[in-house]
Amino acid sequence: AVVAIILSYAKQASLFAFIIVGVLAGIVGVRTVINTNVMTAFVDIGITLLLFMAGMEVDIPGLIKRWKLLLINGFGQIIGLFIISLGLGALYVGIDATYMTDAGLSADNAMPALIYFALCLTLSSTILVIGTLKSTGQISEEHGQVALGLMVLQDIVAVVALAILATLKPPEPGIAPPNLGIEVAMIFGKMIALAIVLYFVTKYILNPLFKFFAQSGELLFIGTLGYGMGVAALCEVIHFSSGIGAFFAGATLAALPYRHEIEDKVEPLKAFGVILFFMGLGFDISELTPDQMLGGLAEGLILAVLVVVLTIPLMLLLGYLSRLNSKPAFLMGAIINQSSEFSLMLAVLCLQYKIFDPHIFIVVTLVVLISFFLSSLGHQFLDPFYAVFSNFLSFMDGRTKTAEEEVSDDIKLDGHIVIMEYNDLAIEIADFYAQRGEQVLLLDLDPHIIEYFEKQ
């Protein structure tokens, strides 16, 4: 808590505090007295809830509405940065069969190591991006909505990558390794089957069920956990990724009218698991030797700077192709220019499954931490940075209508009397203003109250 408070004054994400404490605790031997089974269980729950909450960020109508922008900017960013990262991994870090053999790992894992290394550099941080968009009030703007959709696409890629990574886990002695092609096909087949099942569950069960849960904050919390963790557990039983199950469960709840209340209830428990995950990462870092740390420092620093810098021109190019104006394209690139917390999850698992050696692991970890630091610093000066380059980017402007020009005039967002929650006092206030011809807007979660007024 002390370290997090100190870092907050430097406008830095609190996850740095969790990692620092994990490193210090590992150095002084705290890990030896912690019940590792309990900590592992909490970390698993935290990661599952993180994926569940990532699923709740899915706005299917919004994705459909902006499908062209997402197709060009979303897939363009993922594919473009992935190809660049593949080149950096092969040519700069030198990940190949010879490298793997020298590191005491299987040469057959050279290609998976290179692919997952590139993926770790490609993914952006959902936590940091959404936090920045909310704190700066940009989440409802054009670039904010496209960035949110891009984060959803990246989350889907990360969840699938985690599921495929599980098939690369070293087999138990005496058990033949699985056929990778068949396993990947099975993953996508199970994903489609799960999506179909959850579609019908959402249509015929979830709406009335959560309408009942919404009458009580405690019921909503328990019901949400029961559904999210239940779907994840059922996926585990059928030998499928519990993470994908949790993500899909969250996505099905995203369309319910109780979405924001659910997020508010579950967020603290998710945050606790994420804290333990990053502390565990700190423990893993503390086991590395000073030589290993210093050996990866130069590569990690250079790659982090490249991720932060190259993302902006890449998004400007994609913005030009999708006819975005210069400011939303620039701001989008300047907000998503860091590596992700999912990159750390992938790196930890790759280290455990002997796909990464300690050197690659520390390089990826340093890229994430340094890019987090540089990107979050840059987020404090987004508008001044754009002002510096705006004249050079003016050729991108005026080619299409801005989001503000396209807003419908059917709904007037001023002149309302807004009442928070329905009660006896609210009735008197509503009657008072309604009798004087004023429009009254009532906000309430209770589905019975909503139904009552819908019938009036």
Instruction: Give the model's pLDDT for residue 446.
Output: 76
pLDDT in tens, 152-193: 788 888 888 887 887 777 766 656 566 667 777 887 888 888
Instruction: Give the model's pLDDT for residue 403.
Output: 45
Compute the distance between CA of residue 432 and CA of residue 411 in angstroms, rounded to an integer: 23
Tokens (6 digits) for 177: 């390794």
Write the CB contacts of 360 (distance below 8 Å, at least 6 apart in sequence): 93, 95, 113, 117, 347, 350
Across the chain, what does the average pLDDT equal?
83
| Residue type, position 438, single letter | E
Instruction: Give the model's pLDDT for residue 406.
Output: 47
DSSP secondary structure of 373-411: HHHHHHGGGHHHHHHHHTTTTGGGTTSS--HHHHS-SSS
Q: Comparing C-alpha atoms, which of 230, 211, 229 is closest to residue 220?
A: 211
Instruction: Give the model's pLDDT for residue 239.
Output: 76
Write the CB contacts of 34 (distance below 8 Å, at least 6 apart in sequence): none
Q: Please check whether residue 441 is in contact with residue 419, taking contact to mean a CB–CB distance below 8 angstroms.
A: yes
pLDDT in tens, 41-68: 777 777 788 778 777 877 777 777 777 8
- Which stretches of the chain score pLDDT less than 70? 171-180, 399-413
Instruction: Give the model's pLDDT for residue 402.
Output: 46
